């Protein structure tokens, strides 16, 4: 089980992510995430869900690169396919509130994963953010080109995506990538208090607020993300990307070690 | 008189807000505010107006909840009705510059009040911001769902509105809710200097800058705010909201005391 | 030569700006900038270009005001005219990445110049930003009314443009005017490292990222900037502007001295 559900109450669930050794987002992660979404949506009393990592060094490392062509893909026009962009859209449109509480690395698809949540809070000491795809001869294919600039503005999104570099939680908060950074000691209490507050309020009102905000704000378009996703998978078949990925895998990508801990310097 | 006007010069006015005990935005506030807008618009030499509170603990506490159904309401299609969304639109489109200088609590409609100004500056020690409507079984009905995300982005607007919690001036500045936070000692000098600078410039140019900016930037749509306002008033007739409001009033809402000072913990 | 090109490598160029005494953006600057753009676009291997100033006190002071009516102007509909708005659009759409590394004053057209780059980094001690046009009886005519609010939001853009005041790098970073501020000692190493990283990545991917981001994000419309530019030039023929400009020139504008160093207090 990659996702372990903790039922704090009928209306407040916590989900712990555990996919050793570094929490890669692999085809199995994708399949189980969709099943989890089915469960979340089926709980009609659910008001708020918090996603944490079981691994303090890795929130979600990035997309798994060996079997990446086996990821569930779909047309995504209906919002009901198995592919990640549709799951992200389901989170955005969900009748419950989703919160990412981040320790460890959230890079690539891991960063795009958290961008799909309603809110993001992170540990100043332990969280690391990056869109490192340029370093493997590609670009963000799971929403980063569509969602990140809505959080950070275009100039900072270009900096993040073109540098492929690591960002700490303070810089991520200054850029709007996350809502706020807290000391590692404060993070859990803040997030738990916020989730309990939300869970104490009226379900219909929570749904009205999310629905109205989604109707007022600029949302990323799934057809854009699907279009970018197709180009992303195509880019991975190019010699440039194959060479870069092979070199990183040989150095230790996807295993617990210095390449994953300090990816930015290996790109 | 809720609004006391101080004529610094023909082109620079200050307005002090005083509606004891906690500066609630009540039907009388609404009527007098519209009259004040008439005066501001009638002064064709006016370049800048600063709104302050006479009460250091409360800027504008929130909408008055006992007689809330007596608020002036209107169709708002013409921008000339008596309702708050139209007054807010008049501030946005005004030929003069409006500045909120904030000490004390600006919650609910008080927060939506300041969002309608061209700029917002606040005291680090004394200002408190919140959209606490969720705590009375409702949601922001005076523009908060339409304007706040334009200032803070969607993720932070959702956090603010779904938590109903209090925010200090530093966090409000980091989120873009206000332009900048100053120490209480520095605030008045900064705002007065800024207003005097603006008042020293050419009136036609000030008007050209505001008009062009309003033509270029994304503005909230009054029909959206009106639609949300109708739903807001409807939500207050629900048993959930009636129960929550009644409990708060019995504990001391709208009187000077701990409930108003620390509203977030009572919701 | 106003622009001196340093070829770090085929794919990474640096450009130093030197137009003594204070780096005004004058008609000759405009002509040479267009020639430089031709060179940059002609280098099909170029991945990244960094613009610095040869003068630590002035990045680009502002538009030259004596001969301002001799600036190259054009219709700009095709994106190929000689006028600044079209050069700015060429930078935005360029197949390479443009970075402004800022020491000294970037005011007026100097501020609009940096807004056209993909990214902006600045020295905490030495950079100063302003849109001082209101102080000469005019308004930003080179994109400031169209681009700045996309970086800072409307409220902060109005504050900047209506105050005409100077802003330090920390405030500019907090407002989003620049990506980030660094201590003067750190700035060069950060920018050089970022440029070398980008230059180490695949050219086609860099182009794909910029093109996709430009297709997803909100971009300023050149017809709006052209419209504002026409009104800007017209405003300079008004008696109010002529008087204000004449007074500033007599006090020492466009020479190295206190008026240029501390312009905000002379407006």
Q: What CATH number corresponds to the domain at position C54?
A: 3.90.226.10
Q: Does B179 touch chain C (CB under 8 A)?
A: yes
Tell me what ipTM this predicted complex has.
0.96
Question: Concatenated DSSP letters for C180-220?
Answer: EEE-HHHHHHHHHHHHHHHHTS-HHHHHHHHHHHHHHS---
**Closest CA of chain C from B252, distance in Å:** 35
Q: What does the alpha-carbon distance between residue C191 and residue C58 come to, in Å, rounded to a whole number?
A: 19
- pLDDT at residue A67, as a whole number: 81
Q: Is residue C206 part of a domain?
A: no
- pLDDT at residue A93, as a whole number: 96
pTM for the whole structure? 0.96
Distances (CA, A) of B105 to B164, B260, C252: 13, 9, 47
Distance spanning both ends of chain C, measured CA to CA: 31
Contact predicate A213/A153, CB 8 Å: no
**Closest CA of chain A from B64, distance in Å:** 20
Q: Does A266 touch chain B (CB under 8 A)?
A: no
Q: Could you report the per-residue pLDDT of A247-258, keeping only the tens digit for each?
A: 999 999 999 999
Distances (CA, A) of B113 to A123, B86, B137: 34, 12, 20
Q: What does the alpha-carbon distance between residue A18 and residue C29 come to, in Å, rounded to a whole number?
A: 58
- pLDDT at residue B187, as a whole number: 98
Q: What angle do helix axes B144-152 and B222-235 make, rounded to 10 degrees?
A: 120
Which residues have C-beta within 8 Å of that of residue C58, sequence separation ≥ 6? C22, C23, C104, C105, C110, C260
Q: Could you report the per-residue pLDDT of A86-100, keeping only the tens digit for each?
A: 999 999 999 999 999
Residue of B85, B156, B159 for testing the chain A interface, max A β-carbons within 10 Å: B159
Q: What does the alpha-carbon distance between residue B69 and residue B64 come to, in Å, rounded to a whole number?
A: 10
Q: Do C210 and A158 lie within an 8 Å CB cutoff?
A: yes
Question: Concatenated DSSP letters for C113-156?
Answer: HHHTSSEEEEEEEEEEEE-GGGGGT----SSHHHHHHHHH-HHH
Q: What does the alpha-carbon distance between residue A140 and residue A117 come to, in Å, rounded to a whole number?
A: 17
Contact partners for chain C, using 3 or more CB pairs closer than 8 A, are A, B
pLDDT at position C79 over 70: no
Q: What does the alpha-carbon distance between residue C69 and residue A17 come to, in Å, rounded to a whole number?
A: 63
Q: Give residue B112's domain range.
A: 3-201+217-266
Computed over every residue of chain C, the mean pLDDT equals 94
Nearest to B179 among C137, C149, C159 (CB): C159
CB count in 10 Å sphere of residue C52:
23
Nearest to A162 among C173, C204, C206 (CB): C206
Q: What does the alpha-carbon distance between residue B43 and residue B35 come to, in Å, rounded to a whole number?
A: 13
Q: Do C162 and B217 lie within an 8 Å CB cutoff?
A: no
Q: Do B119 and C146 lie within an 8 Å CB cutoff?
A: no
Q: Is residue B207 part of a domain?
A: no
Q: What does the alpha-carbon distance between residue B232 and residue B234 come to, in Å, rounded to a whole number?
A: 5
pLDDT at position A183 over 50: yes
Residue of C108, C131, C147, C158 for testing the chain B interface, max B β-carbons within 10 Å: C158
Token pair of A42 as six digits: 């089926």
Distances (CA, A) of A166 to A136, A162, C75: 15, 12, 43
The confidence band for A109, taking pLDDT boundaries of 50, 70 and 90, is: very high
- B window 205-264, beta carbon within 8 A of C: 205-206, 208-210, 212-213, 215-218
Q: What percent of chain A has pLDDT over 70?
A: 96
Q: Is residue B210 part of a domain?
A: no
**Closest CA of chain A from C241, distance in Å:** 34
Nearest to A197 among B145, B149, B164 (CB): B164
- pLDDT at residue B67, as a whole number: 81
Q: Is residue A116 part of a domain?
A: yes
Contacts of C215 in chain A (CB under 8 A): 224
pLDDT in tens, chain B (267 residues): 999 999 999 999 999 999 999 999 998 999 999 999 999 999 999 999 999 999 999 999 999 988 877 777 665 544 445 689 999 999 999 999 999 999 999 999 999 999 999 999 999 999 999 999 999 999 999 999 999 999 999 999 999 999 999 999 999 999 999 999 999 999 999 999 999 999 999 999 999 999 999 999 999 999 999 999 989 999 999 998 999 999 999 999 999 999 999 999 998
Q: Least CA distance to C174: which residue of chain A?
A: A174
Q: Does A158 touch chain C (CB under 8 A)?
A: yes
- pLDDT at residue A74, as a whole number: 62
Q: Is residue B209 part of a domain?
A: no
Pairing of the two strands B58-60 and B48-53: unpaired
The confidence band for A75, taking pLDDT boundaries of 50, 70 and 90, is: low
Q: What does the alpha-carbon distance between residue B232 and residue A196 come to, in Å, rounded to a whole number?
A: 24
Q: What does the alpha-carbon distance between residue C140 and residue C131 come to, in Å, rounded to a whole number?
A: 7
CB count in 10 Å sphere of residue C41:
13
Q: Do C202 and A154 lie within an 8 Å CB cutoff?
A: no
- pLDDT at residue B75, as a whole number: 59
Contacts of C220 in chain B (CB under 8 A): 216
pLDDT at position C152 over 50: yes
Pairing of the two strands B48-53 and B12-17: parallel
CB pairs under 8 A between A and C: 81
Q: What does the alpha-carbon distance between residue A258 and residue C241 come to, in Å, rounded to a whole number?
A: 62
Number of domains in chain B: 1
The confidence band for A8, taking pLDDT boundaries of 50, 70 and 90, is: very high
Q: Could you report the per-residue pLDDT of A165-180, keeping only the tens digit for each?
A: 999 999 999 999 999 9
Q: What does the alpha-carbon distance between residue A136 and residue A142 come to, in Å, rounded to a whole number?
A: 15
Nearest to C159 among B119, B173, B212 (CB): B119
Q: Is residue B34 part of a domain?
A: yes
**Closest CA of chain A from C153, distance in Å:** 10
Contacts of B97 in chain C (CB under 8 A): 158, 162
pLDDT at position C12 over 60: yes
Computed over every residue of chain A, the mean pLDDT equals 94
Q: Least CA distance to A206: which residue of chain B?
A: B162
The confidence band for A81, taking pLDDT boundaries of 50, 70 and 90, is: low
Contacts of C136 in chain B (CB under 8 A): none
Q: Do C158 and B206 lie within an 8 Å CB cutoff?
A: no
Q: Is residue A211 part of a domain?
A: no
Distances (CA, A) of A190 to A182, B157, B164: 8, 17, 14
Nearest to C118 among A158, A220, A224 (CB): A158
- Average pLDDT of the residues in A47-68: 94
Q: Is residue A207 part of a domain?
A: no
- Chain centroid to CA B8: 23
pLDDT at position C71 over 80: no
Pairing of the two strands A119-130 and C97-107: unpaired
3-state secondary structure of A73: coil
- B window 23-52, beta carbon within 8 A of A: none
Residue of C132, C138, C155, C167 for testing the chain B interface, max B β-carbons within 10 Å: C155
Nearest to B224 among A174, A210, A216 (CB): A216
**Closest CA of chain A from C48, distance in Å:** 10
Contacts of C216 in chain A (CB under 8 A): 145-146, 149, 220, 224
- pLDDT at residue C69, as a whole number: 75
Token pair of B69 as six digits: 């159904």
Distances (CA, A) of B15 to B3, B5, B31, B113, C210: 6, 5, 16, 14, 48
**Closest CA of chain C from B9, distance in Å:** 18
Q: What percent of chain C has pLDDT over 70?
A: 96
Residue of B132, B162, B243 for testing the chain A interface, max A β-carbons within 10 Å: B162
Contacts of B119 in chain C (CB under 8 A): 155-156, 158-159
**Closest CA of chain C from B101, distance in Å:** 13
Strand partners, A9: A12
């Amino acid at each position: 089980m990659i996702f372990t559900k903790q039922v704090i109450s009928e209306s407040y669930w916590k989900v712990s992510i555990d996919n050793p050794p570094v929490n890669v987002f692999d085809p199995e992660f994708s399949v189980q995430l969709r099943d989890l979404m089915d469960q979340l949506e089926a709980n009609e009393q659910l008001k708020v869900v918090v996603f944490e990592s079981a691994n303090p060094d890795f929130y979600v490392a990035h997309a798994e690169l060996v079997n990446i062509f086996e990821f569930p893909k779909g047309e995504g026009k209906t919002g009901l396919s198995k592919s990640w962009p549709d799951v992200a859209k389901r989170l955005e449109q969900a009748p419950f509130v989703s919160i990412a509480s981040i320790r460890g690395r959230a890079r690539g698809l891991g960063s795009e994963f958290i961008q799909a949540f309603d809110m993001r809070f992170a540990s100043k000491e332990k969280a690391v953010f990056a869109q490192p795809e340029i370093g493997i001869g590609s670009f963000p294919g799971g929403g980063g080109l569509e969602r990140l600039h809505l959080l950070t503005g275009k100039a900072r999104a270009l900096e993040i995506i073109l540098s492929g570099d690591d960002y700490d939680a303070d810089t991520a908060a200054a850029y709007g990538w996350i809502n706020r950074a807290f000391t590692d000691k404060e993070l859990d209490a803040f997030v738990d208090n916020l989730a309990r507050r939300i869970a104490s309020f009226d379900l219909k009102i929570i749904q009205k607020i999310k629905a109205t905000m989604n109707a007022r704000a600029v949302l990323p378009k799934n057809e854009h993300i699907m279009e970018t996703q197709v180009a992303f998978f195509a880019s991975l078949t190019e010699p440039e990307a194959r060479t870069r990925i092979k070199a990183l895998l040989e150095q230790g990508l996807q295993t617990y070690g210095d390449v994953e801990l300090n990816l930015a310097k290996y790109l």
